[in-house]
Amino acid sequence: MDIEDQWVVLVREGISIAFYMRQPHELMASAVWRALERYRQAISPRQPGWYVDYSGDWQPLDSEGEAVIRKRLLATSALVELIERPDSVTGIAFKYQGRSKAAAGFEKEEQESTCALEFRLPIEFLAERGPEWIRSLAIDLGHELPWNSGHAGLSLELGTWPKTLTPRLHEVTRRHPGFDLNRLNKLALYLGTKLRPPAWLTFLGPPVLNELGGVEGLRSQLRSPSTQVESLSPDRALVSLGPVPEAGDMDAGDTLPAYRELARVLEPWLYAHKGEWGFFTEAEVRQWERRFL
């Protein structure tokens, strides 16, 4: 679904792997750096080639840029965005918002701040490297991180969100509920330990997995033959909804029943965003977030 404006791709289909951690950046800076290095090794020979400086401008990720990114990621807080090209979305990108303990108030339970990061893969990797390779990579990347939740699956990558693009985004997200539309900056501020809607791969950790009765408690509530629940550690699990990510097609009656079953189980913990999301109104965001319910 590449959408182009004078040969610049504004939005394209891809794979998003995202994790959310209710811990301050100071405690996991090294883990985030190792996860980024693992991602870059895995996607080779393709690589991010540009980063955003603190003025919002794109700079080449040369040796000087590498030093800047490493310094940022190993500081007390971090805001990092890497992409393959600055002029067009390509499916290769890394985004991270690491919030410090002092700035985000992690010691206060009522605060909803979290550290959030996302690794993107081109949709072509599904055919070129296969869904099992993507699944293994997602697990491997998560192994480095103290996540509370996460997800991996089909997603729309936006280079920018002009208002003129909104009708098309409405159309795609309504018809194909398997596509996510991630906005990391919003989630880092408000997600806390709540959950995003189900994806092809849904990572569940504390406190939600414990409140579900652990792996066995979760498994007992999921009966779809395509669903698998795998223990990754005593307090973390992975739910796989089939062997490959699915977009669904509401117009053709493909409503993704396994995704809907998981959404019903997780409903008490699902995140409800307040306010707009790009050019979606709050009511439209709520409808989209609850698309599996």
DSSP string, the chain: --EEETTEEEEEEEEEEEEEE-S-GGGTHHHHHHHHHHHHHHHTT----EEE-TTS-EEE-SHHHHHHHHHHHTSSSEEEEEES-SSS--S-EEEEEE--HHHHTTT-TT----EEEEEEEETHHHHHT-HHHHHHHHHHHHHTS--SEEEEEEEEEES---GGGHHHHHHHHHH-TT-B---HHHHHHH-TT-BPPP-SEEEE-TTHHHHTTHHHHHHTT---TTEEEEEEETTEEEEEESSS----BGGGTB--HHHHHHHHHHGGGB----S-BTTB-HHHHHHHHTTT-
Check residues 6 and 100 and name the one with the higher pLDDT: 100
pLDDT classification of 275: cutoffs 50, 70, 90: confident
CA atoms of 143 and 120, how far apart (whole Å): 17
Residue 142 has pLDDT above 90, yes or no: yes
pLDDT, tens only, 222-270: 999 999 999 999 999 999 999 999 999 999 999 999 999 999 999 999 9
Q: In this model, does residue 8 exceed pLDDT 80? A: no
9 vs 282, which has greater pLDDT?
Answer: 282
Four-residue CA torsion sign, 109, 292, 17, 84 = negative
Q: Which of the four pLDDT bands, split at 50, 70 and 90, describes residue 124? A: very high
Q: In angstroms, rounded to a whole number, what is the distance separating the alpha carbons of residues 52 and 65?
A: 10
pLDDT at residue 5 is higher than 50: no
Residue 207: pLDDT band (50, 70, 90) is: very high
Q: What is the pLDDT of residue 9?
A: 76
pLDDT at 107: 58
Q: State the pTM of this model.
A: 0.94
Instruction: Give the mean pLDDT of the chain.
Output: 91
Instruction: List the chain domain ranges.
Output: 13-290
pLDDT for position 10: 83
Residue 105 scores a pLDDT above 70? no
